[in-house]
Amino acid sequence: MKSAEIQTRISQMRKGITDNKVKLDSLRTNRGQLSIDNAEENEPVITRLDKQIEDLRKALENTPVEIRLLEEQLTQAQAKESQKQQEQLLSEQKKVGRDVEELSKQFIKALKAAKNINEQLQSAITTHTALAQRTGQQVLRDYCHGSEQSLKMLLETMEQQMKGQHTAEAGPGMVGSNAPIRL
């Protein structure tokens, strides 16, 4: 049984205790009145009421035990549901972890490609500057200078982090793992 079903049943049983107490009082009152009025003449009805009274009395005695047992079942059901939920969360966490690892690898690959392009850009700018000095002409309009060291430092830091090494372990010149990196 699921915990919601058990809780509903416990609530119904607790309400039943109250209802049965009221009903028991009513039956006892009716039985007493019939005994006072004419016990011999009302004997079949009194016998039936005695049976109902005994049944209610037994129900009232047994219900707290049944509720306790249901509460134990509720605790077990909640523990199972909690464990299942934890397993689902762990499964989701593992999936996200695999995604993070894959994205990290893609990020390192992209940084390596960017580093290579940056080196090519710096080389081309150096060559262009040398030619511009010789010709006295500036032909470049829209361009960037590339990164002197930041991109290299970023790549080295990310590669160290992929190996499980972080700032304190990696040594000087490394960018902190929580520090924003500005190129």
Tell me what pLDDT residue 176 has: 53
d(CA 83, CA 34): 58
Query: Sign of the C-alpha dihedral, residues 166, 172, 178, 181?
Result: negative
d(CA 33, CA 14): 29
Say if CB 6 and CB 74 are below 8 A apart: yes
Tell me what pLDDT residue 182 has: 47
- Going from N- to C-terminal start, the domains of the chain cover 3-146
Tell me what pLDDT residue 183 has: 46
For 121-132, the DSSP string reads HHHHHHHHHHHH
Phi-psi region of 5 (alpha: psi -120 to 50; beta: other; left: phi over 0): alpha
Nearest to 74 by CA among 171, 165, 6: 6
Nearest to 143 by CA among 179, 177, 118: 118
Q: Does residue 178 sit in helix, strand or coil?
A: coil
pLDDT by 10s per residue, the chain, length 183 = 789 999 999 999 999 999 999 999 999 999 999 888 888 888 999 999 999 999 999 999 999 999 999 999 999 999 999 999 999 999 999 999 999 999 999 999 999 999 999 999 999 999 999 999 999 998 888 888 888 788 888 888 898 888 888 655 545 555 555 554 444
Tell me what pLDDT residue 149 has: 83
Q: Does this model's pTM top 0.75?
A: no
Tell me what pLDDT residue 177 has: 52
Q: List all residues 6 or more positions away from 14 whose beta carbon is below 8 Å from its beta carbon.
A: 67
